[in-house]
Structure 1
């Protein structure tokens, strides 16, 4: 059985310049890439689904590279990340969980020395289902200025027998972030949290 059969890849990038208060000195770039593919385990229970996790690594790597390029940033300029998946109606949530390792690994591989765990969301849905991908700082999960989410939806996915795997990245903090807490400039970089 061929595990990876991609139907399409959707990349979206936005540039935030203003958020009520003063305009951002540097616009915030937020981007997502969604890969719509066949779910080889749809419609039945399969005990050993781990081969798919390994097979997804090159897909994740291509997606992470594609997203950084689309955002027009160098890898070291990416400050926030997250991942997620939407499983079609004849799949199970565990099929979306297969993205945990390849999704996180691929971004760390492309971005370099990222320390923080990659936040994640997953759900079962159908055509046009939206999901909020949680995002936080790539090196310290406690940096409040980078807490956000990016909504992702693919109008014609997931169809029955499909999964949508998603990566999200940002180039910095929320525009006009001002709720205190650990600052990016104060990161120690020892544990991925602070």
Structure 2
């Protein structure tokens, strides 16, 4: 199995106070941790790539913990998502290798998170951007937490790199009023409701 070669890691947090409406009692924070790594399969077709998912597990845990710390602790997190961008010498399937190590890392560190971790991925050139979807950590149908965060780096991914991202939020959209299942009404039985 190939080694994970990390070039750069970026953690960013944005704090939202309002979006033109009344200022609520507390702000909402969204954060992302992004790792830029070498793509060990770039430039060729490799039939057996699943082993690299296991190699990515420690990186996933490191990124998830870094992001949890940046957002004030696991008890603050209400939403999450993940994403991957693959440089031009790679293929979309290489980004799919991030599904398990990225998602399970967050679920392992966020006690009681039952919802599937939403994701997005694409092949891009240097400076590409990706909107990473966010849903509630315990119930995917909580509409107030449907959100996204744009991630990227001005110098990545280079052709033989991948950008792996984890995103989290501390609450619902700041002025959510689109209805649907409320966070306080989650039953927590199936990760959906």
TM-score category, normalised to shorter length: over 0.9
Preserved CA contact (<8 Å) 2:87 2:158: yes
CA-CA distance at 1:176 after TM superposition = 1.4
Q: Residue 77 of structure 2 aligns with which residue?
A: 78
Secondary structure at the counterpart of residue 56 of structure 1: helix
Q: Residue 61 of structure 2 aligns with which residue?
A: 61
User: What TM-score results when the alignment is normalised by the length of structure 1?
Assistant: 0.98
Q: Residue 107 of structure 2 aligns with which residue?
A: 108
CA-CA distance at 1:18 after TM superposition = 1.1
CA-CA distance at 1:77 after TM superposition = 1.5
Computed over aligned residues only, the root mean square deviation of the Cα atoms, in angstroms, reads 0.8
Q: Residue 95 of structure 2 aligns with which residue?
A: 96
Q: Deviations over 1:127-184 (max 9, x none)?
A: 1101000001000000000001101111100001100000000000000111110000
Q: Whole-Å Cα distance in 2 between the matches of residues 185 and 12 of structure 1?
A: 28
Gaps of 5+ in 2: none
Q: Whole-Å Cα distance in 1 between the matches of residues 111 and 146 of structure 2?
A: 21
Count of matched residue pairs: 193
Secondary structure at the counterpart of residue 34 of structure 2: strand
Preserved CA contact (<8 Å) 2:15 2:29: yes
Q: Residue 31 of structure 2 aligns with which residue?
A: 31
User: What TM-score results when the alignment is normalised by the length of structure 2?
Assistant: 0.98
CA-CA distance at 1:115 after TM superposition = 0.3
The runs of at least 4 aligned residues of structure 1 exceeding 6 Å deviation read none
Preserved CA contact (<8 Å) 2:2 2:52: no
CA-CA distance at 1:66 after TM superposition = 0.3
